[in-house]
């Protein structure tokens, strides 16, 4: 007589063993993913004020132009600085000693940047206007004003003051119609506008995502497809709207515990959001499903930046511990961390990383730029490690 019980347990054991092997294989793949990249600090750009600590030049925003040829920075100092991307790394290419010794090239802001433009107020957001050949740069400031600058003329060519003097946290441009812009503000609204219209850029649409007028902290158009614009609010939620019909959101992503500070599209259906709850979350926009949560950085009260490197699937953010964190989209823990955590995070005397930005180049090497509360820029180079 066949022992059915024994046969069942043998098959069950094979299934358990097979499950354990699959789990080990998955863990091996994840560990491999954690070791694929090699990062090093190649260039450090500062000023005499940032070195002595006597100046306030928190770099709140960094933006590469769509071609990756220029970097724009802005923040508390009311200056828009424009850097040539090649100049940030040319010293390393000419002399790879810094890579071998680990000693970065040190530059001064005055010598490193091509030019700067004085802004009328502290800057909360910068965004390059698509399809304008890196010529036009938009800004949102602490006085609630949106401006556009012609960088060849080095002067403003458009100004819009429709947020009632409340701080503009974020602006972005529509990729299907690059003239259209959107801005999010402390007044609790996201407004879409067109500089071609009169009246200082006619408001084409306005939404108030939260009934409590919670500040709108981030705005991001889907750069891949469709007329979709996403909004992150202080009410802890992400709202997505169809530009053609903005009476109600298409969907709402609810999972953060505090203010949503940044939104980025990783691909056409994947949204990355960050919050001062200390988490970054990845969402499937098609079915509004939370895919993964990333933890490790310290973020409970400040804007610390968020950037996604689309070719390599890497996510970067700053930290109130004055560190830089890089995550692989497949792994919830940090892939790489730069900087030492202060002994006492409850003290507010230490600096923090306030902005980050990837240069969107090829899949095998990358450039990451970070800015901090002391006005210091750091340029990191990353290369994929050779795997056997």
The closest of 158, 165, 169, 118 to 143, measured between CA atoms, is 165
Q: How far apart are CA 317 and CA 339, in angstroms?
A: 13
What is the phi/psi pair of residue 290, to 5°? -75, 125
Q: Is the predicted pLDDT of residue 233 greater than 70, yes or no?
A: yes
Mean pLDDT value of segment 335-343: 84
What is the phi/psi pair of residue 164, to 5°? 65, 30
Which band of pLDDT confidence, cut at 50, 70 and 90, is reported for residue 47?
confident
- Cβ distance 128 to 65 under 8 Å? yes
pLDDT > 90 fraction of the chain, expressed in percent and rounded: 68
The closest of 205, 214, 160 to 186, measured between CA atoms, is 214
Mean pLDDT value of segment 88-108: 67
Higher pLDDT, 345 or 279: 279
Q: What is the DSSP string of 273-328?
A: EEETTS-EEEEETTTTEEEEEE--S--SSS---EEEETTTTEEEE--TTS-EEEEE
DSSP class of residue 245 equals B
Question: The tokens 């354990």 sit on which residue?
Answer: 20
As given in the structure block, the two tokens for residue 292 are 């993964």
The closest of 215, 254, 212, 229 to 172, measured between CA atoms, is 229
pLDDT digits (tens, 9 = 90+) for 258-300: 999 999 999 999 999 999 999 999 999 999 999 999 999 999 9
- Cβ distance 96 to 34 under 8 Å? no
Task: Kindly report whether the global pTM for this prediction surpasses the value 0.85.
Answer: yes
* Whole-Å CA distances, 130 to 66, 118, 156, 163, 263: 7, 23, 17, 24, 18
pLDDT at res. 385: 78
Side-chain half-sphere of 246: how many Cα atoms within 13 Å? 21
Residue 252 CA to its chain's centroid (Å): 21
pLDDT at res. 113: 92
Strand pairing report for 37-46 and 105-108: parallel
Higher pLDDT, 203 or 361: 203
pLDDT > 70 fraction of the chain, expressed in percent and rounded: 82
pLDDT at res. 131: 86
What is the phi/psi pair of residue 7, to 5°? -65, -40
Which band of pLDDT confidence, cut at 50, 70 and 90, is reported for residue 91?
low
Average pLDDT, the chain: 86
pLDDT at res. 225: 75
As given in the structure block, the two tokens for residue 196 are 């071609």
Q: Is the predicted pLDDT of residue 351 greater than 70, yes or no?
A: yes
The closest of 84, 165, 74, 67 to 117, measured between CA atoms, is 74
Which band of pLDDT confidence, cut at 50, 70 and 90, is reported for residue 387?
low
pLDDT digits (tens, 9 = 90+) for 168-216: 999 999 998 989 999 999 999 999 999 888 667 778 899 999 999 999 9
- Give CA angle at 79 (358, 171), nearest 5°: 55
Q: How far apart are CA 230 and CA 240, in angstroms?
A: 4
Q: How many CB atoms lie within 10 A of CB 317?
A: 28
Q: Which of 54-58, 62-66, 133-137, 315-319 has the lowest mean pLDDT?
A: 54-58
């Amino acid at each position: 007589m066949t022992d059915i019980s024994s046969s069942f347990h043998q098959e069950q054991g094979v299934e358990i063993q097979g499950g354990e092997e699959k789990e080990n294989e998955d863990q091996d793949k994840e560990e491999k993913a954690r070791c694929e990249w090699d990062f090093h600090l190649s260039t450090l750009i500062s000023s005499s004020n940032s070195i002595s600590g006597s100046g306030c030049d928190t770099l709140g925003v960094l933006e590469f132009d769509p071609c990756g040829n220029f970097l724009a920075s802005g923040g508390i100092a009311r200056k828009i600085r424009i850097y040539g991307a090649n100049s940030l790394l040319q010293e390393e290419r000419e002399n790879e000693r810094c890579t071998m010794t680990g000693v970065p090239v040190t530059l001064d802001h005055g010598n490193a940047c091509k030019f700067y433009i004085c802004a009328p107020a502290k800057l909360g957001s910068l965004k390059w206007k698509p399809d304008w050949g890196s010529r036009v740069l938009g800004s949102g400031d602490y006085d609630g004003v949106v401006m556009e600058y012609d960088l060849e003329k080095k002067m403003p060519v458009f100004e819009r003051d429709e947020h009632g003097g409340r701080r503009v946290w974020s602006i972005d441009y529509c990729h299907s119609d690059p003239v259209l812009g959107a801005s999010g503000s402390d007044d609790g609204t996201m407004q879409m506008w067109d500089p071609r219209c009169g009246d200082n850029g006619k408001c084409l649409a306005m939404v108030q995502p939260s009934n409590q007028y919670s500040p709108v902290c981030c705005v991001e158009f889907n750069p891949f497809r469709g007329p979709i614009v996403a909004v992150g609010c202080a009410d802890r939620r992400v709202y997505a709207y169809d530009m053609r019909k903005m009476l109600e959101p298409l969907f709402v992503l609810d999972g953060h515990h505090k203010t949503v500070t940044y939104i980025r599209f990783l691909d056409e259906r994947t949204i990355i959001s960050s919050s001062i709850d200390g988490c970054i979350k990845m969402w499937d926009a098609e079915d509004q499903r939370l895919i993964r949560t990333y933890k490790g950085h310290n973020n409970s009260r400040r804007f610390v930046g968020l950037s996604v490197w689309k070719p390599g699937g890497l996510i970067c953010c700053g930290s109130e511990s004055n560190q830089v964190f890089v995550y692989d989209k497949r792994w919830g823990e940090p892939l790489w961390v730069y900087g030492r955590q202060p002994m006492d995070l409850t003290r507010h005397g230490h600096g923090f990383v306030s902005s980050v930005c990837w240069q969107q180049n090829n899949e095998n090497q990358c450039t990451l730029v970070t800015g901090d509360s002391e006005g210091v820029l750091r340029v990191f180079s990353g290369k994929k490690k050779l795997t056997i």
